[in-house]
Structure 1
Amino acid sequence: MALRDTPSACPALWRCLPCPPAELRLDLVLPSGQTFRWRESSPGAWTGVLAGRVWTLRQDRDRLWYTLYGAGEDGRPAEAAKPGGAETDQILRDYFQLDVGLPALYRAWGAADPLFRKVADDFPGVRVLRQDPVECLLSFICTSNNHISRITAMIERLCQAFGRRLCHLDAQPFHAFPSLSALTGADAEARLRALGFGYRAKFVSGSAQAIAEGLGAEGLRRLRAVPYAEARRVLCTLPGVGAKVGARTGRGRGAGPVAGADGAARQQVADCVCLMALDKAEAVPVDTHVWRIAQQRYGMALGGRSLTPRAHQEIGDFFRGLWGPRAGWAQAVLFCADLRKGQEPAGSRGRARGAQGLDSCG
């Protein structure tokens, strides 16, 4: 099946939503370490897997365009891609949380914080994704001591090995994210190690097993309805949620404070999942980027080079006091700006934020 990268190619197979760049910038949000399943398939066009379907997205001045691909042997497009796709419209609205008005939030954050105001004009449309909790959790377990390009390749190998094939586009296969059952087989850890996951293989298969035998996927999703502190506590009981691996912390930058305690790293991965999958907009994941921003730009006297659980909590509380109940969203803007400034040096959020040494979360 051929990739469709513009609405002018088969216009009947594209739909659009009203969405100006001030509300969403695909080029700032999709490659910034919140998710690892999208690629820029041609200039301005982003192709990836969402909700078990393959999509291409692009924007013009005031619209978000999308098309879907089906797996039919004759290459027919997915039925939902045809006009009248209210269901697929809603999938995108939910994923990008388009019910949250971003310009008003930018104004409020800028009024409260002159430093934010200086950055905001160059980075409009940065918003937090609302992802599937299982996919988000298992993806961020892979982010320790890692950078975005490598994490993306790892997640692709994971999906190809364990996920359901959805379709081929220009001879490239696309797969769904694996089910819990696919990752809990007796040989799952060994297969993951063979795919290059190293020590993360144990954590991915272990967390999948713990969820399958405990909360289940729906139970994990129901954490959206509990308070932030409770959701974070539950996540921190899972294998590999920020497990201490003796690495530098940071969403992907090489240099940074060494995580001084397993608890701080656990909070970091758990906060990424809370923010990007469990509706906890107040969650502020603290990695190398945010640690440095707090000290160098906001003058926080954290002391030493260790990112301890106490320092993690102090930084989060500081930004919640400054930016309010959507502090995690405001932090995503500064994180994106910091990431762009560094253009993903080795080991950076590029490390997608999560465990030690990571850089990804918002």
Structure 2
Amino acid sequence: MTAGAFSEWRKLPVSLSELCINTTLRCGQSFRWHHVPDTEEWRCVLHGRLLSLKQDHNYLYYRTYISPKPIPSIRPNPVSPEANSAASNDDDYTLSLIKHYLNLSSNLTDLYTYWSSQDPNFKKKAPKFTGIRILRQDAWEALVSFICSSNNNISRISQMVEKLCLHYGPAIASIDGRAYHDFPSPEALTGKDVESRLRGLGFGYRAKYIYRTAVMVATEKEEGWLDSLRNPECPAFGGKSAPAGEMFPEGRQGYRETHEKLLSLQGVGPKVADCVCLMGLGWGESVPVDTHVWQIAQRDYKFGKGSHKSLTKATYDAVGNHFRKLWGKEAGWAHSVLFTADLRSFSDRLVASKTVKVKMDVDVDVKDEEDNDGTKIETSVTTSTVALKRPASVDGVKVEPLDDEWKENVTSTAVIQASQTTTSRRMSKRLRSR
């Protein structure tokens, strides 16, 4: 591959309370962003170009990798005259793409304030998790990524998506020994050997779902079918927004119809459909309920009793409706904040920095010893038993079914008793022998 180079850094005024990329890009929304520790950059290929982002308290910095030969987008969407005009200036196009992808049009501070006023639990957790936005991703990428999420965790999903891109996506750049590919189109995943190759790459039963869904989208659905399911308030890149209808506890009519249509695809159940609705199609009221979110509903919102003892279809709908009533038409955004707060990879943010009083039961034994000059030395041995706090692996809450993501991320605390013995030797008195 012919070498290229990065453009100069440009910056966009964005505070950490409005966007925190270190949280947003690794909380289980998108699975292709690569973190470069040496420079604290995040890199990903979007619309045929490699983008690089980094951030400080006041600015979002961005740049693109410039290839010697321009590489067109693998799935060009119909774009507005405004987007075509921006495309004539590469810097303007990149800025428009970043603003679109990061969904920067909403005032996140105002949304956090509203959710906090409605929900004491959100108010308690939110200060440690500001700046979490729902990305406006490509619908096809979101669909395939969340088919991979079935009984899986974030790390393994990321590995699968990386393999898909490396084996089936267009190569865009190679930097420091790492290859960057765009996401494969539906057509690229319709070959006769795709399913068997994906199984060989470790996709398991998901290989069949990905292949069959690619065939349906590429050959059985009309062109642009997925994007036609988008929330009109959140169009694809380059499109114009339109009203999306009246909001109800169960969501807007367009959301409910979209959710139902997605269920017709291979490997798409209610949770995967909601993930695609929220993160790929812009339906902000969508609340994906997996075993992890179900545990949050039980622990913090008193679900799990009466007719909602297990995560049935009725309970799934009840949890979503409860959160929509509580948080409004962007309930999925608020849900993602609490979901992130419960991930093990972010658990250090919830550790309070405070002085802890420790109750000690002390036994002191005093002995008299005599040294060579006839001086008596009084020695004390102190033994103490201390109550310590230790993390526990599970809190006893029943969830079903228990998937890998739950096993990886569940955290709770429990108090255990530990015995701690301290021995000290000190000279408390010097007694002259007579």
The two structures share one fold, judged by TM-score above 0.5? yes
Query: Which of 1 and 2 has greater Rg?
Result: 2
The equivalent residue for 2:273 is 270
Please list, as runs of the form range in 1=range in 2, the aligned pairs for 1:1-362 lying within 5 A after superposition.
Answer: 13-42=8-37, 44-72=40-68, 85-216=91-222, 218-224=224-230, 225=232, 227-241=254-268, 266-303=269-306, 306-339=310-343, 340-341=345-346, 357=403
- Structure 1 residues 298 and 336: alpha-carbon distance in aligned structure 2, compared to 1, 3 A threshold: same
Name the CA distance, whole Å, in 1 between partners of 2:404 and 2:279: 15
- Structure 1 residues 38 and 283: alpha-carbon distance in aligned structure 2, compared to 1, 3 A threshold: same
Residue identity matched to 1:172: R
| Larger fraction in strand | 2
Instruction: Calculate the aligned-residue CA RMSD, in Å.
Output: 2.5
- Structure 1 residues 356 and 98: alpha-carbon distance in aligned structure 2, compared to 1, 3 A threshold: farther
Name the CA distance, whole Å, in 1 between partners of 2:320 and 2:223: 28
In the TM superposition, what whole-angstrom CA distance separates every residue of 1:12-48 from its partner, at most 9, and x where no partner exists?
6222222110110011110111011012112531112
In the TM superposition, what whole-angstrom CA distance separates every residue of 1:110-143 from its partner, at most 9, and x where no partner exists?
0111110111111100110110000100011011
- Structure 1 residues 45 and 302: alpha-carbon distance in aligned structure 2, compared to 1, 3 A threshold: farther
- Structure 1 residues 268 and 51: alpha-carbon distance in aligned structure 2, compared to 1, 3 A threshold: same
Name the CA distance, whole Å, in 2 between partners of 1:356 and 1:82: 51
* Aligned positions, number: 313
- Structure 1 residues 282 and 331: alpha-carbon distance in aligned structure 2, compared to 1, 3 A threshold: same
Residue identity matched to 1:231: T
- Structure 1 residues 203 and 160: alpha-carbon distance in aligned structure 2, compared to 1, 3 A threshold: same
In the TM superposition, what whole-angstrom CA distance separates every residue of 1:320-350 from its partner, at most 9, and x where no partner exists?
011111100000110111114558xxxxxxx
Q: CA deviation at 1:217?
A: 5.7
Residue identity matched to 1:335: F
For CA contacts below 8 A with separation 6 or more, give which structure has more relative contact order: 1
Secondary structure of the 1:121 match is helix
Name the CA distance, whole Å, in 1 between partners of 2:271 and 2:46: 24
- Structure 1 residues 123 and 81: alpha-carbon distance in aligned structure 2, compared to 1, 3 A threshold: farther
Name the CA distance, whole Å, in 1 between partners of 2:87 and 2:60: 14
Residue identity matched to 1:26: I
Secondary structure of the 1:144 match is coil
CA contact (8 A) 1:17 1:63 kept: yes
Name the CA distance, whole Å, in 1 between partners of 2:405 and 2:4: 34
Residue identity matched to 1:286: V
CA contact (8 A) 1:29 1:126 kept: yes
CA contact (8 A) 2:18 2:130 kept: yes
Residue identity matched to 2:225: G
- Structure 1 residues 161 and 64: alpha-carbon distance in aligned structure 2, compared to 1, 3 A threshold: same
CA contact (8 A) 2:87 2:93 kept: no
- Structure 1 residues 134 and 68: alpha-carbon distance in aligned structure 2, compared to 1, 3 A threshold: same
Name the CA distance, whole Å, in 1 between partners of 2:311 and 2:275: 16
- Structure 1 residues 113 and 183: alpha-carbon distance in aligned structure 2, compared to 1, 3 A threshold: same
- Structure 1 residues 139 and 25: alpha-carbon distance in aligned structure 2, compared to 1, 3 A threshold: same
Secondary structure of the 1:178 match is coil
Q: CA deviation at 1:305?
A: 5.7
- Structure 1 residues 2 and 213: alpha-carbon distance in aligned structure 2, compared to 1, 3 A threshold: closer
Deviates more, 1:308-317 or 1:52-61: 52-61
Residue identity matched to 2:326: L
In structure 1, stretches of 5+ residues that fail to align are 5-11, 74-79, 242-265, 344-354
Identity of aligned residues (%): 44
Residue identity matched to 1:236: L
- Structure 1 residues 91 and 117: alpha-carbon distance in aligned structure 2, compared to 1, 3 A threshold: same
- Structure 1 residues 279 and 302: alpha-carbon distance in aligned structure 2, compared to 1, 3 A threshold: farther
CA contact (8 A) 2:4 2:68 kept: no
| Larger fraction in helix | 1
- Structure 1 residues 122 and 57: alpha-carbon distance in aligned structure 2, compared to 1, 3 A threshold: same
In the TM superposition, what whole-angstrom CA distance separates every residue of 1:263-284 from its partner, at most 9, and x where no partner exists?
xxx1100000000011110000
Name the CA distance, whole Å, in 2 between partners of 1:212 and 1:337: 37
Residue identity matched to 2:257: E
Q: CA deviation at 1:214?
A: 3.0
CA contact (8 A) 2:14 2:60 kept: yes
